Structure 1
Amino acid sequence: MSLLFSNATRFSTWRELWLNLAIAEKELGLPIPDQAIAEMRDNLKLNEEQMKAAAEEEKKRRHDVMAHVHVFGTVCPTAAPFVHLGATSCYVTDNADLIFLRRGLDILLPKLALVIQRLSTFAEKYKSLPTLGFTHMQPAQLTTVGKRATLWIQELLWDLRNITRAREDLGFRGVKGTTGTQASFLQLFDGDHDKVEALDERVTQLFDFPYAMPVTGQTYSRKVDIDVLSPLASFAASATKMATDIRLLCHLKEIEEPFEKDQIGSSAMAYKRNPMRSERVCSLARWLGNILHNAHETAGVQWMERTLDDSANRRLTIPEAFLTADVLLTLLQNISEGLVVYPAIIARRIAGELPFMATENIIMAMVRAGGDRQICHEKIRVLSHQAASVVKEQGGENDLIDRVRKDEYFAPIHAKLDSLLDPRSFTGRAEQQVDSFLQKWVEPALQPYREGFKNAKQADLAV
């Protein structure tokens, strides 16, 4: 991703744009020598000397595109008269940006798919392990560790869909001229409108875009940037949700993110095992989500055919959005590949809450055994409050079931209490939901990326 948004890639892409423009213009009848095309093709990459020359030229001319037109012409003398022929600066800057947007999404999509695959493996492994559910961050009905992971996966699947849509929707600015009217190209082709349209289509085809935008000003509409950055910002929300859940689970000591053998959690508190990866995800995701506001504001203030107040902003916003999303995916991959589950802690927490949750089952069992529902309800209510007092006021363990065992009223179901308290009977269809979700939704979505998984390496955060 860093290479994609480097100056070397940007300026070599400009040269490729000039080359394909010349190729299309020659095909449509302009007298551009074969030697000119050959020179341009042979000099698409800039060496260090050319980069320095372009930087010096830009200092003098105060114009980045013209600096590179000049330097390209010095290494392609035959092509020099035809470089940038009929084009405006946005022919190279905007079309290059669209190329980078598409390539950037092409980098992110397989990484996102890999995170989903890693989490799917985790969900499958722990699909039947009961765990305490939380609503309002208060103990709630049981779920399973794997089922909870599917909540993260589902959001990431939506991100995969949204980013794919943004990628497939991308068009090319194409060959539109200084204010989008194609006037310069109409002049080049002596008023032949068909050739101007053919030029636009041919250059778009050479870069393998599905279509050229039918109308533009000097730039492509900056709403396109919103369309691309929106799914990235949405992904940031998914990353925040997942990482926050993991941070809370680390606090509960039920699940931990990877923690290396020699890793130090605190300079003072040697015992600490801080969830720094998940914290970093939340930090960077907040940044990525807020980047979108720049794209919104920039799109709204493009006066008439364009202004230049978009340029410096976009040179920060677009690369940083993609670089941030890329790092987030590396972090999420690393986390999902090394999550550690502590079943004993989970079981202990369930044991502390399950007696209260089992009261309805106890009442139903007593009714089936011939008891009166209202009498049973009152007895359970009294015993529950006594047990709660032990937990909250004395700091003791939940002894509700012991109280039920000692109460002769509940003698008809004493033998059934263990089965009534089996955590697996409280997780509903969680395990089946995981199986169905992975089979019907995850597998089809990941199918296009399966081949790439074979060579995927574990994420290394040391680099």
Structure 2
Amino acid sequence: MKAAAVHEKRLRHDVMAHVHTLGDVAPKAREIVHLGATSCYVTDNADLILMRESLDALCSSLATVIDALARFAETWKAEPTLGFTHFQPAQLTTVGKRAVLWLFDFVLDLQELERRRDELPFRGAKGTTGTQASFLALFRGDHEKVRQLDQLVAQKMGFDRVFPVTGQTYSRKIDTQILDALSGLAQTAHKWGTDLRLLAHKQEVDEPQEPDQIGSSAMAYKRNPMRAERLCSLARFLMGLPAMAAATHATQWFERTLDDSAARRLYIPQAFLTADALLRIARNVAPGLVVNTPVIARNVREYLPYMATENLMMAAVAAGADRQEVHEEVRKISHAVTAKVKAGTGSTAELLTLLKEKAAFAKLDMTADPRDFYGRSPEQVVEFIAEYVAPIRQKYAGRLGGRAELSV
């Protein structure tokens, strides 16, 4: 590498610096080294090898995250918790069912990363501008030998397909598709991290904390969700990179222009390194999540009367009431109760008492058990893991890692 650096300083060309270096140490091969080839024969094919290996590594790491989150979902599949729409209390769900929502997005990401890895073609031996003219000359006009060389080079590098056509470079469309897939992973990580930050605010679920971890240099009591925050921060960076890849592809003139080179050397490695960092954080957080069941149960109790109203409406209609009329009764009474709660003059428990005074609800059972209101949440967890996670666990058996350590 030091010798190549000396050549590059003089020649101002990275590939030719290595061609000369190879010629220096293999003088008998010097006259044919790089014969018929072009710089992008070396660099593009190398990039494709590196990206495929990186995609494979990310797939294994992501499968580990999926496995850990699935274990979490299995553990908490029947733990009732408040669901939220508009970040306002909605129907009950379970802690495990919510985790399955995160899981499903990660499973979709794994499917996309696997597809990009498995379908990635090799540039192969296409010549200077993709016409294979130089190789056709070397084989004295034998088109079949040129085609065979293309395939053999790809097979030698472990690829079972080649690009059908290229210019001097392979189509930069491939870069955009791969970065879009990495951005998809970042979107999922950001959504998960955001949910964890909101749950930490409600003190329902905490990310792992070290015994001596400090949340604030001033406020000693703080327990900040810094891992989830870092997850979101890195994800935001990764989500911004595909725009550069898209601009590169959109501005490639004819068979190629060199303004792709410097930018690609930044955003492709950065995208993969950032994705790896995201998954490292995820592999640290997922196995260490802490569920604060007393807080969750307290919040469920507070809002349970509201949760019961939909079942009560259905029961009232079954007994002969008009659905729209009972809906209006529930709306007015629940809003009045909420107003008193906000004013500090009432409690949510009054809701069922007030409904009982209405004729449509007078004969209905007003007892409320959280398990009556989370539907098929536990069953959905079991079914999802059996159908989607179990095959992933089987496919990546032996490649699933443990909890990752973070340096900071």
TM (norm. structure 1) is 0.82
In 2, are the aligned partners of 1:383 and 1:403 still within 8 Å (CA)?
no
Partner residue of 1:108?
58
3-state SS, counterpart of residue 338 of structure 2: helix
**Residue in structure 2 matched with residue 319 of structure 1 by the alignment:** 269
| Match 2:186 to one of 225, 236, 251 | 236
Tell me, which stretches of 5 or more residues in structure 1 are unaligned? 1-50
Which structure 2 segments of 5+ residues have no match? none
Say whether 1:457 aligns with 2:402. yes
Q: Give 1:76 deviation, angstroms.
A: 1.9
Q: Which residue of 2 aligns with 1:210?
A: 160
Identity rate, percent: 56
Matches within 5 A, 1:185-204: 185-204=135-154
Residues paired across the two proteins, number: 407
Q: 1:257 aligns with which of 188, 191, 207?
A: 207
Q: Displacement, 1:359?
A: 3.0
What residue in structure 1 maps to residue 110 of structure 2?
160
Is this contact kept in 2: 1:174–1:203, CA < 8 A?
yes
- Aligned pairs for 1:259-278 (under 5 A) are 259-278=209-228
- How far residue 85 of structure 1 moved from its aligned partner, in angstroms, is 1.8
> Are 1:300 and 2:258 counterparts?
no
**Worse-superposed segment, 371-380 or 324-333:** 371-380
SS of the aligned residue for 2:167 comes to coil
- More contact order relative to length (CA 8 Å, sep ≥ 6): 2
Deviations, residues 122-143 of structure 1 (Å, cap 9, x unaligned): 0000010010010011110001
How far apart are the structure 1 equivalents of 2:358 and 2:126?
A: 89
Amino acid at match of 1:426: F
Partner of 1:57: 7
The whole-number CA distance in structure 1 between the counterparts of 2:355 and 2:162 is: 76
Local SS of the residue matching 1:358: helix
**Could you tell me how far apart the structure 1 residues matched to 2:258 and 2:274 are?**
25
Partner SS for 1:245:
helix
Cα separation, 2, equivalents of 1:185 and 1:354: 75
Q: Which range is displaced more, 61-70 or 175-184?
A: 175-184
Tell me the equivalent position of 1:423: 370
Which of residues 290, 314, 330 in structure 1 aligns to 2:280?
330
CA distances 1:247-296 after superposition (whole Å, capped 9, x unpaired): 11111111011111111111111111111111111111111111001111
Q: Is the 8 A contact 1:185 1:196 kept in 2?
A: yes
Calculate the aligned-residue CA RMSD, in Å: 2.5
**Mapped partners of 1:224, 1:363: distance in 2:** 54
CA distance in 1, matches of 2:140, 2:312: 90
Paired residues for 1:283-432 under 5 Å: 283-362=233-312, 384-385=334-335, 387-394=337-344, 397-400=347-350, 403=353, 416-417=365-366, 420-432=367-379
| CA distance in structure 1 between the aligned counterparts of 2:154 and 2:211, rounded to whole angstroms | 53
Q: Residues of 2 paired with 1:378 and 1:60: CA distance?
A: 83
Task: Please point out which of 374, 377, 380 is paired with 1:433.
Answer: 380
Look up the SS of the partner of 1:132 in the other structure.
Answer: strand
Give the Cα separation in 2 of the matches to 1:411 and 1:293: 61
Mapped contact 1:369–1:412 kept (Cα < 8 A): no
- Match for 2:131: what amino acid? T
TM-score, normalization: structure 2?
0.93
Partner in structure 1 of residue 394 of structure 2: 447
Structure 1 residue 226 and structure 2 residue 176: aligned?
A: yes
TM-superposed deviation, 1:84:
1.2
